Structure 1
Amino acid sequence: MTRREPPLPELIDRFADARGVPEDSEWASTAVGRFLLDDVREEIMVRELTEALAVVESTGQGPEELFGPAVEWARDRAAEASAAGEPVQDVAPTYSWRGIPGFGLIFAAALSVPVALVFGFTDGWRQAFSWDVLLVPLLLGLLMSTVVVSWQRFVERWTTVRAGAATAAVVLPLVFGLAWLLPWLSAQTAFEGSALWWVAVVAGHLGLGALGFWTLVKQSGRETAGGAAPLDDDAWASSVAGLLRSRLSYGDARAQGIADEARAHAAASGRPLAEEFGTLQDYAARFRPDRDRAMRWQGILLTAVAVYWVGKLVVELVTPGDGPGWWTVAGGVLFPLLAWWERRRGGAVTR
């Protein structure tokens, strides 16, 4: 009979019980948070925390004293397991095109809150609810999900440059269409009422977000039950390189080099790649994500968006008229702050 490992919440509580010190469970919670941010598989988290708890219980010393800061300990344990060839990363399959509506509804739910705060507190108690402000969370959410899924699907198959060009070819017509649609919708009044109607609007979007999450879970279950067709060596090597690019943020040369090494190893053993290394996700899970590269690209993207919004804000400030709109002010302040925060976050990860 196999021994059942305790779930993570129970493990965290046991850290506090080991010495009767609540701060010990905070250390464990911080370590779990770092593991989760690094997409470490749950079984690795449970194993490492179980071993650390055993040492705490046997020595009577605190985890901070024994292992140092929780964040550094979690990173070191994940890196050591990865260096030993264990599948450490929780590498999910690339998003499906069918996931665009589900992700879009989830994004819309998240966007509905700031939209409601902006318009709920700036347009007075009695408001005319136009279709643009009612639908903008849903429209932007669907646009964002299209960007994410398109990029994931294209970069899995092609080089980074080709994937970027293909994503732009898909997204730019949607952006121009949205730029045409929103002004027209702003002239269409849905209804008039008090600002409290924003509560119902947000609740409706949150309900749509729950529906989106449910559809994604259902799709994932069907795809898991259906399984995947066996891959020959060429398809396996190409797919694993794409998975490294799309899910671990590897560059083209690095991803292709890993795929070539796997192919050479399998050729030397005389076994097919799928038989030698298992599934694509299990093989990719042996490698650590390139977070430096991912954050550089995120920083570049946020900086470009920030430049656009700051430029738009400056133009509206110097142009005679009513002055900049709330969206322009929000974008001109929010996106530079996001770009600055991403730059700081990237520096913290590389240290």
Structure 2
Amino acid sequence: MRTPTTSGYTILGAGVMGLCTAVELASRGGRVTLVDPQPEPGPHACSWWAGGMLAPFCEGETAEEPVIRLGQTAADWWAAQGVEVIRRGTLVLALGRDRAELDRFAARTREHRWMGGEELAALEPDLDGRFHRGLFFPTEAHLTPRVALCTLRARAAALGVAFARTAPEGQRIDCRGLAARDALPELRGVKGEMLVLRLPDLALSRPIRLLHPRIPVYLVPRGGGIYMLGATMIESAQRGRASVRSVMELLSAVYALHPAFGEAEILEIGTDARPAFPDNVPRLIRRDGTLFLNGLYRHGYLMAPALARMAADHLLSGEPVELLQ
């Protein structure tokens, strides 16, 4: 096995990909400097606005095979870093008029089971009587992204990772997301919009995906009556305000899930652009002496651990790894 370079590793970008890579390299003895204008986790990072669903089988509806396979290791990796991972599965539902969407989703995914109304009510009592059938993915999990980022930063610091605003010498690893388009012009932006709601009177305990032919949504519980509602997928690199149309559609969907959300308090509306390659598969790219880890698309917390492990394997052993170009 190759030993860590004497000049160390310089990671550009302190979002979820940069932090995962820093922790993975440092835990194997690498000397790591993490470079970002704002190295503390915050709203400047795309990963701040994520849903945090570790749902490889649900993502299999549209994702390619590597995402499904490699994403299955994410929950254990996050738990090993000290992040609270909630393993209560994922519930997929559809309104009566959209029941064909549920059949289509079932045909394109695996590791689920059908549930009738009574079983659904046993899982989520506050949905009693609202849905007569649904899909349950029991092995899936979720986490709270902002807590995970802060926990991972603390873990990196404990492992000796240095944080800087300018890059020292060393093997460069570029994890800048969409900002790396200056070197990876094939990257595109996919805008996602989300809301944070508070509704203490409703107690849902696991992520719920509500299918719709045009704008499927997901609802992720954060605890204490707080829910993250997302998310749109708009082909745009624009970072800024959410559109009125998107907010109205998201709120309409969650109201259809349960009318009690009509009384929810909107705590936050957020938006950012996810980096994606044309095929929506993340990868490692060797270019001009730099190793790029990018293209996480909507799979940031699901795929960043796998890419970080691949990067460490490649840098320490020199051998080719999966998803490396």
TM bracket (short chain): under 0.3
Higher relative contact order (CA 8 A, sep 6+): 2
Which has a greater percent of strand? 2
TM-score if structure 1 supplies the norm length? 0.21
Which has a greater percent of helix? 1
